[in-house]
A and B are shown apart, each in its own frame.
Chain A
């Protein structure tokens, strides 16, 4: 209980909550907080070049550490620029606290300079938000906000602080123990549901684990528990885009990612399974394909911390509400208590091996040194060159993202940072900045497309300022490749506005910001180029020119079932009916 200014309370609360890094951009309505942060001994402020990048950097920090990301921006445009990243964090369940400045309480509602209705605008893209009208409330609200952002299903929380509340003095108090009076998510699964789940698993002949970002959010122990449960039961594992890394990609039980650009074996196994065990995954439309054909013969167990995810899209037979890690631990304990052993899934594995034999991720390529680089080859080469270095990989959104998901293998969680739910172009580079800040010694690589990268390319300045050794590896095909792929698939190759015209010279751009710039043009230059990137200290941008017209396969076209995957480019047709066209 100490008397201090609102701005000092904000900083004190951040210190008390163990915050070491804040991503932000100053402006009129947050000047008091910036002054309180001036030369702060323990909180490092990272000055970005655009507020959207602050939010993605905070996401990268959060996803790579498991700790909440913290953002500080001003009122009006500062807050509205942050909205994309806040929404991204909501859709991907990333813990984040965003402090926004606001005009003084006396001016709220008068269309004051740099005023916007921040709590109104962010009401539906946050897990919760606050407008603080009284400095005495700042301490309790900031502590509660961190509690809400990190408990239950994680998500972004906005705290809007008027400038006079930052200047006024009040009493800083810390709640001794936060038990929210209404928000109390269930984290421990019901024993009854666990027992029923065990019975279903023990009786299944063709089970499959379908895991998602919830396993990553539940912490590294949850990934370890998943591995243990998989080895106890002997069932195959597939994962969503957000769940990559929870299960090692070199394990024979790993089928690869599922869904629209997932592997043939994953999607076929989902379709033919008699039991799906969904863990921290939410049956997204990119995963299910056509709903009435989604895994028609299976019983479904859905483990999720958010009850509203259960039966939202696919009706399930057994709901287990709780934290993914605790639920997996409970399943392991119950499995062992019943002294169950893995069934012989021999026939199931034989069928899976049959699907694997299609080698759905293979791609045609020329091997001559002067041949154009296939983008898949570039990702594989990057993977091979960084094995054993435990890199953190971020991506932008598009074809390169899917190729990275398909061809880059992950052995552990928190190494794969990508925008799954919102699909935000411009996410990957600032996320790499956030991850690099959190892990100064690690190799952090943003696999980018030339179009996405330009959405937040101004962050090259941030990287230079803090001397971050971030590497950007551009798969440059001079197209918004995924848009073009859909235009080929759906609109008879009418390439409406999907060409990346007037690209900058990325090597010269690197030079302008004091980075190292490299260009790779042919297959013969690929390995050496990647090696140079890795061995060059400081930030490096690699303009890797790839085969321009390569498309991402396999693919479930929109409106199609898991069993209707397009495996090869020549399976493409140029038109679609309106029902399929209407799906995103």
Chain B
């Protein structure tokens, strides 16, 4: 017997929660307990009184599962709101930051710097034999930059995961 899995679609969820101990564990635990996917997760305190945090989760699943994820998150006691930024008509902006360390000398070093310029990546640290680039953009753009850097002496990558916000004047 084979265990079947269903194909999914990518969704970005913005969740506001009480900024208190255990909330993140509650949310990530919900995903593992119910077998949902997390592609990326970011969290930070966003309110002036430090009472609220915003979590951005990129997940994927078939539409009924995405609906379930939202409903399950929504009923957790410390969760204030859950927004599916992929909902129809709700265009949104997504950004991710990566720090990319490239080591090497000679042509590869020059090529790395040139491509960083094309991608509008900033040099935030340099030695005679290395650069650290800071790149901001969609996950796709960051992926493409990292793929190119593999050819130019990539040694280390750190990524923040996606933060996202809906376009237009309305707040979440």
Contacts and interface: CB of A to CB of B under 8 A. Distances in A.
> Is B a genuine binding partner of A?
yes
Interface stretch (A67-75, A95-103, A306-314): A306-314
B77 A308 contact: no
B95 interface: no
A128 interface: yes
A183 B1 CA distance: 43
B1 A578 contact: yes
Nearest to A180: B77
A307 B71 contact: yes
A119 B74 contact: no
Interface of chain A: mostly helix, strand, loop or mixed:
loop
Contact of B77 (A124, A183, A310, A311): A183
A380 to B, nearest CB: 41
Contacts of B67: 311
Interface of A: 119-120, 123-124, 127-129, 131, 148, 152-153, 180-183, 185, 306-308, 310-312, 315, 578-579, 582
B40 interface: no
A308 B74 contact: yes
A308 B25 contact: no
Contact of A308 (B18, B72, B80): B72
B25 A120 contact: yes
Interface in B67-124: 67-68, 71-72, 74-75, 77-80
Interface of B: 1, 17-18, 21-22, 25-26, 29-30, 33, 64, 67-68, 71-72, 74-75, 77-80
Nearest to A312: B68
A308 B71 contact: yes
A185 B71 CA distance: 12
A310 B30 contact: no
B22 A182 contact: no
Contact of A124 (B21, B30, B75): B30
A181 B18 contact: yes
A129 B23 CA distance: 10
Contacts of A315: 64
A560 B1 CA distance: 17
Contact of B22 (A123, A310, A311): A123
A123 B25 contact: yes
A311 B70 CA distance: 12
A582 B79 CA distance: 35
A312 B26 CA distance: 20
B21 A131 contact: yes
15 contacts: A123-B25, A124-B26, A124-B30, A128-B77, A128-B78, A129-B22, A148-B77, A153-B75, A182-B77, A307-B75, A308-B68, A308-B71, A311-B64, A578-B1, A582-B1
B118 to A, nearest CB: 45
Contacts of A579: 1
A181 B80 contact: yes
B125 to A, nearest CB: 36
A307 B67 CA distance: 10
Contacts of B71: 307-308, 310, 312
Nearest to B81: A182
A307 B22 contact: no
A119 B22 contact: yes
Contacts of A582: 1
